[in-house]
Chain A
Amino acid sequence: MTTADLHTLTGAYALHALEPGERAEFERHLAVCPACAQEVRELAATAARLAQAVAVRPPPALKQRVLRRIATERQEPPRVAPLPRSGGGAGRGRALSRFSLAACLAAAVTFGGIAVWQHQEAQDARRRAQETHQRAEELATVLAAPDAEVVTGKLTGGASGTVVVSRGRNRAAFIASGMPKPPAGKVYQLWYDDGGTMRPAGLMDPSAGSDTVLLAGRVGSASGMGITVEPSGGSPRPTSEPVALMNFPAA
C-alpha cells in the first residue's frame, strides 16, 4: 500500500474496520505520521460521541458484579513503567528483582557505558525482564544497544537522572535516582525536546517503583528531554516549569 493510500485509512482505523494485516501496516505508519495520529485522535473522539448517543441505563446487578470483581482483580503498572515489580502473586511469571537491575544500571552508568550488561548477572536480569514484560525487553534493548549513549544530570531537589539514548533504535530511556514522590494527584511527565517544542514521552511514577522508564515514542530529531510535574494522566503540553531539562549527546 502506498503512503498516500495509508493516509486515507484514519477513518476505517478509528472504527476498527481494518483487517488485521492492514491494521498492523497502518499502525506502523501512525508511528511516523503525526498528521494521521492527530486525525485518528479526533476521529476516535468523534466515534465516542456516536457511542454516547446510544447510551442505555445499565442494570444495577452489573455494577454489583463489576465492583465485586475489581476487589480481587490485579492492576497493571503504567505502560511507561517497564520494570515489573516483585511482590505479586502467582500467574505473572517471576518478577525482575529491582535490586539486581538497579545495581546493573548503577554499574553501567558508573562505567560510562553499557558493556557491563554482558556480565552474567546482567544477562540473567535481562533474560528475566524479557520473559516477564515486553516493555522491559524494549528497555533492555535500548540499554544494551551498541550505540547507546549515556548522559547524567542533576535534577532540582538533589535528585539525579540518567538518559540513555540509542539513535540506532530511535529510543531513549530515563533512569531516576532519588526523585521524590510527586504531590498527590500529580505525576511526572517526560517530554522530548524538539528544538524547544515539547512532545509527550510518557509518564513516570516513582512511588510505583518505576524509576527506570522507556520514553514513549521515537527519539526522532529530539535534541533532548525534559520532565515536568503534571496532573494525573499527564497533559498534552507542559503546564509547569520543568524539574529537569537534559540534552542528548549530539547525533
Chain B
Amino acid sequence: MKEAVYIGGPAPVGPDLPELLGRVAKGDQDAFARVYDRVCGPVLGLVRSVLRDPAQSEEVAQEVLLEVWRSAARYERARGSVMTWVLTLAHRRAVDRVRSAQASSDREHRAALLERTPAFDEVTEEVEAGLEREQVRRCLRTLTELQHQSVTLAYYQGLAYREVAELLAVPLGTVKTRLRDGLIRLRDCLGVEA
C-alpha cells in the first residue's frame, strides 16, 4: 500500500508509518513522536480549514493526536493507509465540532460560509509550497464547477450535503452524486489506490 507523500520537507527515512504505529500500539512514545512528525501538519491544516479559529483548531488537533495514541492498536492495514486513518479521524472530529457550534449560531454562520467560498485557494495561502499541493490543485481544476464547490464545501468547510445543497441552491440528489463523481474524478486524477 502506498503511504502518503510528506509535505513540507524531505521524505523521512526509516520505518514506515504502519510499522511505527505498531510500536505505538505497544506503548512506544518515541515511535509516537515520529508518527506525530509525519501526520501533525496535515491534521492541523485540515482542522484549521474547517474550524478557522486557531486556538480551537489546535485543541481539536491535540484531541486527534491523543486519539491516535489511544487507539493505535485498532488501526487495521487492510482498511487503508495510516495517513488516511488519521485524517479521517481528524475530519470527523473537526466536523463534529463545527456542527455543534453551528447549532447555536446557525444564521450568522451560514452567511459567513458563503463569503468563505471558495475555500481551497484561501486555505492554501497559508500553506507551504509542496508538490502534493500542486498536484491536488491541478486535479481539482479538472472537476466541474459544481463538483468542485460541493467537494470543497463539504470537506474543507465541513458542511453536511443538505447545507451544500442550500448554499448552492441545487437539489439534494444532485449534491450527493456530485460529491461522489467529483471524488471519483479526483481519485483517478491523483492515482489513489486503497
CA distance in complex: A79, B66 (Å): 17
Min distance, Cβ B56 to any Cβ of chain A, angstroms: 13
Instruction: Judge whether A47 and B155 touch: CB under 8 Å.
Output: yes
Instruction: Judge whether B78 and A235 touch: CB under 8 Å.
Output: yes
Instruction: Judge whether A202 and B76 touch: CB under 8 Å.
Output: yes
CA distance in complex: A51, B184 (Å): 16
Instruction: Judge whether A46 and B187 touch: CB under 8 Å.
Output: yes
CA distance in complex: A81, B84 (Å): 23
Beta-carbon contacts under 8 Å, B150-180 to A: 151, 154-156, 158-162, 164, 175-180
Best-surrounded residue of A49, A235, A236 (most CB of chain B within 10 A): A49
Beta-carbon contacts under 8 Å, A11-33 to B: 11-12, 14-19
CA distance in complex: A11, B160 (Å): 12
CA distance in complex: A17, B92 (Å): 10
- What's the dominant secondary structure at chain B's contact region? helix
- Which partner residue on chain B sits nearest A63 by CB separation? B36
Instruction: Judge whether A75 and B160 touch: CB under 8 Å.
Output: no
Beta-carbon contacts under 8 Å, B7-44 to A: 7-8, 18-19, 21-23, 25, 27, 29, 32-33, 36, 40-44
Q: Tell me if A178 counts as interface (CB < 8 A to partner B).
A: no
Beta-carbon contacts under 8 Å, A23-45 to B: 38, 41-45
Instruction: Judge whether A233 and B187 touch: CB under 8 Å.
Output: no
Instruction: Judge whether A67 and B36 touch: CB under 8 Å.
Output: yes
Counting from the closest, the 10 A-B pairs by CB-CB distance are: A232-B22, A11-B180, A11-B179, A53-B136, A233-B77, A51-B46, A55-B41, A41-B194, A233-B18, A54-B45
Report 18 cross-chain contacts, Cβ distance below 8 Å, ordered by A residue. Answer: A12-B154, A43-B180, A47-B155, A48-B88, A50-B186, A52-B42, A54-B42, A55-B7, A55-B44, A56-B128, A57-B41, A73-B69, A75-B70, A185-B19, A185-B22, A208-B73, A232-B18, A233-B22
